[in-house]
Amino acid sequence: MRPTISLTALGAVLAAAQPLTAQAPDRSRPPALGPAPSLALPPIARHTLSNGLVVLILEKHQVPLVQVNLVVKAGSAMDPDGKAGLASMTAAMLDEGAGTRSALELADAVDHLGAELSVFAEQHVTTVALHAPVTRLDPALELLADVALRPTFPAEELERQRRERLTALAQQHDEARAVAAVLFARTLYGDTHPYGRRTSGTEASLRSFTVDDLRGFQQTYFRPAGAALIVVGDVTAGAILPKLERAFGGWTGASAAAPHWSEAAQVVRREVYLVDKPGAAQSEVIIGRIGVPRSTPDYYAIVVMNTVLGGAFTSRLNNNLREDKGYSYGAGSSFAFEPLAGPFQARASVFTGVTDKALTEFMKELRAIRNRVSAEELERAKNYVALRLPERFQAVSQIARQLGEVFVYDLPLDYFNQYTRRILSVTAADVRRVARRYVDPDHVSIVVVGDKEKIQAGVEALKLGPVKTMTIQDVLGPVPVVTGTE
């Protein structure tokens, strides 16, 4: 029989074995962080095909995969008047039949290659993204070119997409967050500015779409002069460029004329828009104003400032409304950096009974960020931003999406390698300056979606500004009636 020893005796033996001079660890505070390392990406190579199509290549040879994204500078901002959602619908239809294949045949061909193919539209960009094994790249590129350049827009698939979107619109009447987002955009930008329109479409616009509308949008804006191929993966320029030339070199067309967008007027006074959602257990709150475009020289200072305010779990807004007061499961703020000045917003879902108290805390934090940021807060925010950068570059699909920004915003090819240094160079004075310039709690739109009977009196008592009450149908219109055929 083997000898045994009790756990108590074993603990005593181990304790006796420790040097008498051993010092207990200090658990009163977390260990200090070292300096944030800079991201060191491999060089990004820029090339052009014979038709002028830009190609950005980043070699990453650890895994035999490649990501090829076709980035086209056309999105929802290009939707014509009365056709809100056209760019989004066009993007959704690109892979519903292309070349000689139907939607199902195209999906089968992609699956057979072990590839993934997706399309998505944003405000100013549509991306057709291909993820494929290197050994299957040639046939995969043919599919990518078919989807982007030779979509067929089958009428029956358009009807299916139309029904799905009308159903989604109907569901949004019960989603406070969607109602608040639509109204907030409209209060800041109005109905004529692209950022004030609904990018997924309205009932009227969705019912009006025809195959010719989709084809016209694709033919107008999908031009090599306004596009780029982003390539990341186990390839070399010498190997991939001839393949790209075969797939895309015959694509022709001059750049489409850029739409003229008028500059949106800044919020001139503080107003409250209260949308009644009877019986709501929570109130959806959005407070904000027009922010800045991506080209602002204050970009890095704003990123750090917003991290302190509401861009991280440990931010002031979340600490206040969630951790301290318990009014919400989470609160935050953001700046939407777009080619045009996007919105700044602070938002949270708060419990109905504390809606007025939550608004008071929001306004307190929006004022406080303009006055002081401690050295500890500043250091923590800069490290948070710098240390999170590498996670955006783990997979080839992530890297390609980041490199798309280099093309869209005409950033230098070493932009990401310089990012950490620029973030760490932000000072407390920079943060105060941009907070005072871009966060103005006296000139904001305040949108609240909740149970009017329970929250209106408390909101009005705060005297934040005129309170305009609305119904959900005032914001979204009547609930769409969706039938089997539209």
Chain segment 188-208, per-residue pLDDT in tens: 999 889 999 999 999 999 999
pLDDT attached to residue 286: 98
Bridge partners, 467 (sequence order): 272
Q: What percent of the chain has pLDDT over 70?
A: 93
Average pLDDT, the chain: 93
- Positive or negative: CA dihedral 307, 313, 316, 318: positive
Would you say the CATH fold of 271-476 matches that of 45-248? yes
Looking at domain 271-476, its CATH class is: alpha beta
- Would you list the domain boundaries of the chain? 45-248, 271-476
What is d(CA 253, CA 87) in angstroms, rounded to the nearest whole number?
A: 19
Give me the helices (H) in 150-231, please.
155-172, 176-189, 203-208, 211-221
Instruction: Pull the structure tokens for residue 472.
Output: 């959900």
pTM, 2 dp: 0.90
Instruction: Pull the structure tokens for residue 330.
Output: 């989470």
Check residues 141 and 28 and name the one with the higher pLDDT. 141
pLDDT over 80 (residue 312): yes
Question: Hey, what amino acid is at 464?
Answer: L
CB-based contacts of 83, cutoff 8 Å, min separation 6: 205, 208, 209, 213
Q: Are strands 467-471 and 271-276 parallel, antiparallel or unpaired?
A: parallel
pLDDT attached to residue 258: 77
CATH classification of 45-248 is 3.30.830.10, yes or no?
yes
pLDDT over 90 (residue 41): no
- Element containing residue 471 per DSSP (H, E): strand 467-471
- Positive or negative: CA dihedral 222, 226, 231, 236: positive
Bridge partners, 284 (sequence order): 349, 449
